């Protein structure tokens, strides 16, 4: 199996799991969703074992690393900014979402703390 066929299987499984998730939400059935996600994972794992081409090289790995780092930074900053704006808006009497603002700001701090810890951990683990 080549990479193009594998990507088609991934897209098909994603669509199928999405459809089953919508049906399970309508029917209020968590077990149906859990079964669909589990089956999707099994199908993807079995299919990936049959791929004979190299899927990740150094360039792809570097691109994914840069994308992940940028996504983490942008998402964390936006989450903190929205949290602070909600707190200020609530204090001005515009909205009553102060608790949500605190939760978002706290979440941004947790993400930054976990990121800092993992950077320290991997730097020490890889001899940096």
pLDDT at 116 (0 to 100): 92
pLDDT digits (tens, 9 = 90+) for 65-92: 999 999 999 999 999 999 999 999 999 9
Task: With CA atoms as reference, report the closest residue to 115 among 76, 84, 81.
Answer: 76
The number of CA neighbours under 13 Å toward the Cβ of 107 is: 17
Question: For the segment 47-63, what is each residue's pLDDT rounded down to a tens digit?
Answer: 988 888 766 778 888 89
pTM: 0.57
């Amino acid at each position: 199996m080549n990479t193009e066929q594998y990507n088609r299987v991934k897209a098909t499984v994603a669509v199928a799991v999405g459809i089953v998730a919508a049906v399970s939400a309508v029917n209020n059935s968590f077990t149906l969703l859990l079964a669909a996600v589990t089956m999707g994972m099994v199908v993807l794992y079995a299919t990936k074992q049959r791929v004979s081409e190299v899927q990740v090289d150094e360039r792809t790995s570097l691109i994914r690393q840069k994308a992940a780092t940028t996504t983490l930074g942008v998402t964390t900053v936006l989450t903190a900014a929205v949290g602070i704006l909600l707190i200020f808006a609530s204090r001005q009497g515009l909205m009553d979402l102060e608790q949500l603002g605190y939760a978002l700001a706290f979440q941004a701090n947790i993400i930054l703390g976990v990121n800092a810890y993992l950077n320290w951990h991997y730097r020490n683990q890889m001899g940096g």
